[in-house]
């Protein structure tokens, strides 16, 4: 396969036999912005670690159909790091976190509601689009998983099998995340809302195997804390 690093990377999950289809923004960018033509070769990822070298076969009003020439698969980066973060009151701050986290190479993003979460909703479709864009920009070919939980209790239940579990908060005794995480193992770090976790939520997390940690001396915004935690686990 040619070196795709120097070329634009497209994304799709629409496959049929030896063909793939680009629709919506991907179709528009391919045909209207980059002005690709029939028989041009492009690189496409499915977000599952596969890179397809494909040749454009048809260009319609709403779809670009390509024939797959060959495929290369890349192993998913290890360990798998999950950041569970509460939605911010200003939606753009959560979006900023998601974009940068995907560029750095996060494995999964969980958005959950805590008791002090001020805005208990987020635009899932918009966040997904930001994730796809960041994946392509950074040439990561593994699209992180995006999950939403309604409360901390549900989060505890659904993440019980993850080996390393941490909750970052400002209330009470904590240890350093940087000094206590094993960077070779999968991990999840909980980041609370602007008002931090309640004592009841912290106790629930501890009872479910989460270790209380600090990210340093500075008091960080939610989205900054999420990024700092990710960078610590990645060895930055």
152: tokens are: 């901390």
The predicted-structure confidence for 105-118, as pLDDT tens digits, reads as follows: 999 999 999 999 99
The predicted-structure confidence for 13-59, as pLDDT tens digits, reads as follows: 999 999 999 999 999 999 999 999 999 999 999 999 999 999 999 99
Mean pLDDT of 140-158: 94
Task: Assign 93 to helix, strand or coil.
Answer: helix
The predicted-structure confidence for 212-224, as pLDDT tens digits, reads as follows: 999 988 889 999 9
Residue 4: pLDDT over 70? no
Helix axes 91-104, 124-138, angle to 10 degrees: 30
Handedness of CA 185, 194, 213, 176 (dihedral sign): positive
| Domains within the chain, CATH numbers bracketed | 4-73 (2.40.240.20), 81-233 (3.40.1280.10)
* Rounded CA separation 155/197 (Å): 14
pTM: 0.92
């Amino acid at each position: 396969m040619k070196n795709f690093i120097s070329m634009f990377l497209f994304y799709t999950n629409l496959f049929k036999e030896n063909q793939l289809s680009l629709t919506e923004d991907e179709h528009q960018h391919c045909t209207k912005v980059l002005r690709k033509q029939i028989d041009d070769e492009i690189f496409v990822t499915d977000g599952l670690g596969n890179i397809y070298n494909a040749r454009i076969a048809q260009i319609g009003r709403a779809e670009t159909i390509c024939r797959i020439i060959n495929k290369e698969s890349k192993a998913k980066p290890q360990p798998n790091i999950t950041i569970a973060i509460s939605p911010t009151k200003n939606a753009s701050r959560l979006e900023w976190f998601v974009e940068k986290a995907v560029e750095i190479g996060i494995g999964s993003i969980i958005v959950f509601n805590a008791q002090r979460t001020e805005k208990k909703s987020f635009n899932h479709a918009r966040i997904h689009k930001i994730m796809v864009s960041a994946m392509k920009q950074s040439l990561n070919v593994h699209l992180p998983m995006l999950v939403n939980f309604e409360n901390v209790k549900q989060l505890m239940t659904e993440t019980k099998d993850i080996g390393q579990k941490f909750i970052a908060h400002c209330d009470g005794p904590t240890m350093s995340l940087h000094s206590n995480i094993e960077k070779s193992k999968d991990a999840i770090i909980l980041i609370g809302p602007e008002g931090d976790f309640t004592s009841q939520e912290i106790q629930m997390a501890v009872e479910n195997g989460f270790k209380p940690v600090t990210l340093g001396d500075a008091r960080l915004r939610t989205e900054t804390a999420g990024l700092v935690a990710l960078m610590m686990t990645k060895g930055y």
